[in-house]
Amino acid sequence: MCGHFSIAISIYTLITICFTLAFLLPMFLSTNNMPLTIQYISAINQIKHKSASSSLNPQTTTGGGNPTPSAAQSNTLGCITYDSSTRSIMISCSSASLTDINNKLHDNNVLAKQFMGSTSWLLNANLIIDKGSKFHINSTDTKWLKIISSSSAGIHNNRRGASGSSNVNSIHVFGSLTIDSVKITSWNPLTNSYVTITTSNATIPRPYLRIEPGATGTTNIVNSEIAYLGFDTSFAGLGAGGINYYAGDGSTLRGNNIHNLWYGPYLSGVGNMIIEKNQSHHNLNYGFDPHTGSHDIIIRNNLAHDNGQEGIICSVNCSNILFDNNRTYHNEKSGIMLSRNTYNSIVRNNFIHNEINGIHISLSHNNQVYNNTISNSVNGIDATPGASNNNVHDNVIMNSKIAMLTDRSSLGNTFSSNKIK
């Protein structure tokens, strides 16, 4: 009897469980009616928090100051997206690299290693680094980044997009970028070589690196080779000369080999930069060109040679520029030039030879030019036209056709203790 009673209770228990499951299952299947536990709510909030953290670009760093991705970024890479309509990779991460892009996209038509296991990448898209985000291209996973000039087949057709450079694969920095110990160039996979231009075909599109107005961080380029980038857009607007800074106060260019660009490094309205120990050569225009409103720039220990215009120039309302211990030669115009209202600047300890003008001061004032050595140039120091109140002293000028040149439009300049040999 007891056995029959136990069986009856077991059957009753089983029926009760079945009815209970039948009643509760729809509630669990409907998120609107599901009775959430405190633990379940906490888990959902954790997931949402991690997702939001990725999109809001948390600035986590290692002890050495280098940014590190959050756990959510490492696992999901949700901060990397790709828009096929514009062929643009968007980086919204606290830290990301080319390897992270590759792990996220898995698309060899966008980004691929050139050979299995190599550290040479082919990029066939725009790379856009969002505000508040950080991207790094360095020797941990990269030796050479080759940017295919255009997603269209006819990259040599001498054409531009409606906006002048809209269909050219390039790097646009709205956040922060670090380039360290790598090579970055244009690339034409049809010829398996760089894209080269001359002054006569300079509108052929080539990739470029541009730090966009309002960028929230620095773009530091060190110990790298940057070459065969930039072209003449021939339209009003932001330039695509090769390396263009329209923001990025406090950035550093150090120890780089920069060559065969349309323009050497160009700055506009940027301050507190250090440009040192670089070689800039065989660019179609300037070697280094801080420009409109650039200020508080240190340009020292650089080599600028064989460029299509000045070796080093600052032009249009530049102030507090230091040109110190640079060497220039074989540039098409001047070794160093202060142009169009460059003021309160210093040119000292530079070695200049084989130039049209060793040092040229034009429409600029209140500058100090001293302890420079200039040789084998047409004009040693040219203070024309409209150069005023500049102090030129203790320079050595050798084997030059005209040692120092001034005119009636240049008033208040002083020349003292210069040696002419």
Chain-wide mean pLDDT for the chain? 83
For residues 342 and 322, the answer to whether their CB atoms sit within 8 Å is no
Q: At residue 71, does pLDDT exceed 70?
A: no
Q: At residue 253, does pLDDT exceed 90?
A: yes
The residue to which tokens 């470029």 are assigned: 208
Residues 81-94, mean pLDDT to the nearest whole number? 95
Q: What percent of the chain has pLDDT over 90?
A: 75
Question: Rounded to an integer, what distance in angstroms lies between the CA atom of residue 277 and that of residue 267?
Answer: 17
Question: Rounded to an integer, what distance in angstroms lies between the CA atom of residue 133 and that of residue 247?
Answer: 15
**The Cα angle at residue 289 between residues 131 and 373, in degrees rounded to 5:** 140
What pLDDT digit, counting tens, does each position of 354-399 carry? 999 999 999 999 999 999 999 999 999 999 999 999 999 999 999 9
The residue with greater pLDDT, 160 or 354, is 354
Q: What percent of the chain has pLDDT over 70?
A: 78
245, 152, 168: which is closest to 203 by C-alpha? 168
Residues 270-277, mean pLDDT to the nearest whole number? 98
408 class by beta-carbon count within 10 Å (0-12 exposed, 13-18 middle, 19+ buried): exposed
Q: At residue 251, does pLDDT exceed 50?
A: yes
Q: At residue 12, does pLDDT exceed 50?
A: no
CB half-sphere exposure, 245, CA atoms < 13 A: 36
The three-state (H, E, C) secondary structure of 136-194, written as one string: EEECCCCCEEEEECECCCCCCCCCCCCCCCCCECCEEECCEEEEECCEEEEEECCCCEC
What pLDDT digit, counting tens, does each position of 196-242 carry? 999 999 999 999 999 999 999 999 999 999 999 999 998 878 999 99
Q: At residue 68, does pLDDT exceed 70?
A: no
- β-bridge pairing 120-123 and 111-113: antiparallel
The residue to which tokens 């050497």 are assigned: 264
Amino acid in position 69: P
CB half-sphere exposure, 28, CA atoms < 13 A: 8
Tell me the two tokens of residue 383.
Answer: 């203070």
For residues 221 and 145, the answer to whether their CB atoms sit within 8 Å is no
Q: At residue 53, does pLDDT exceed 70?
A: no
Cis, bond preceding 385 (omega within 30 deg of 0): yes
Question: Rounded to an integer, what distance in angstroms lies between the CA atom of residue 73 and that of residue 351?
Answer: 50
Residues 274-281, mean pLDDT to the nearest whole number? 98
The single-letter DSSP state of residue 404 is E
Question: CB atoms < 10 A from the CB of 373, how many?
Answer: 17
Sheet holding 368-370: strands in order across? 134-138, 176-180, 219-222, 252-254, 274-276, 295-300, 319-324, 346-348, 368-370, 391-393, 414-416
The single-letter DSSP state of residue 28 is H
The pLDDT, as a whole number, for residue 151 is 55
Q: At residue 28, does pLDDT exceed 80?
A: no
The pLDDT, as a whole number, for residue 353 is 98
For residues 320 and 343, the answer to whether their CB atoms sit within 8 Å is no
Q: Residue-wise over 88-122: b if at least 16 C-beta within 10 A, else e?
A: bbbbbbbbbbbebbbebbeeeebbbbeeeeebbbb
Residues 23-27, mean pLDDT to the nearest whole number? 38
Task: Provide the whole-model pTM.
Answer: 0.80
The pLDDT, as a whole number, for residue 167 is 77
What pLDDT digit, counting tens, does each position of 282-336 carry? 999 999 999 999 999 999 999 999 999 999 999 999 999 999 999 999 999 999 9
Amino acid in position 379: N
